[in-house]
Amino acid sequence: GKLKTNRKKMEPVTTTLSCPTTTDKVCFEEKNGILRIIYTNVERLNALSEEMYHQITDAINYASNAKTIKMVFLSAKGKYFSTGNDLSAFATPRSMEEIIQAVKDGGKTMVNFIDAFITCNKPIFAAINGPCFGVCFTTLALCDLVVCSESAFFVAPFAKVKQSPEGCSTYTFPRIFGNSLSSELLYLGKTLTAPEALKSHFVSAVIPDAEFEERAWKKAMEFSKIHPETLRKFKVMIRGYDIDTLLEVNRKEADTLMNIWLSPGYLEMMKSIVGVKSKL
Per-residue pLDDT tens over the stretch 163-182? 999 999 999 999 999 999 99
Query: Does residue 108 or residue 13 have the better pLDDT?
Result: 108
Q: Is the pLDDT of residue 73 over 70?
A: yes
Q: To 5 degrees, how large is the angle CA 109–CA 115–CA 117? A: 115
Q: Is the pLDDT of residue 14 over 70?
A: no
DSSP code, position 26:
E
pLDDT at residue 273, rounded to an integer: 59
pLDDT at residue 1, rounded to an integer: 54
Say how far apart CA 224 and CA 226 lie, in whole Å: 5
pLDDT at residue 280, rounded to an integer: 38
For 197-228, how does the pLDDT look when each residue is reduced to its tens digit (9 = 90+)?
A: 999 999 999 999 999 999 999 999 998 899 99
For 254-267, how does the pLDDT look when each residue is reduced to its tens digit (9 = 90+)?
A: 999 999 988 877 76
Say how far apart CA 40 and CA 194 lie, in whole Å: 22
**Mean local confidence (pLDDT), 25-51:** 95
User: Could you tell me what percentage of the chain is helix, strand and coil, using 3-state DSSP and rounding each to the nearest 5?
Assistant: 55, 15, 30
| Residue pair 145/126 in contact by the 8 Å Cβ criterion | yes
pLDDT at residue 58, rounded to an integer: 96
How many percent of the chain have pLDDT more than 90?
74
**Mean local confidence (pLDDT), 142-160:** 97
Say how far apart CA 252 and CA 110 lie, in whole Å: 12
Q: Is the pLDDT of residue 239 over 70?
A: yes
| Residue pair 121/228 in contact by the 8 Å Cβ criterion | no
The whole-model pTM stands at 0.90
pLDDT mean across residues, the chain = 89
| Residue pair 151/208 in contact by the 8 Å Cβ criterion | no
| Residue pair 82/46 in contact by the 8 Å Cβ criterion | yes
pLDDT at residue 16, rounded to an integer: 61
Q: Report the range of poorest mean pLDDT among 54-58, 140-144, 267-271.
A: 267-271
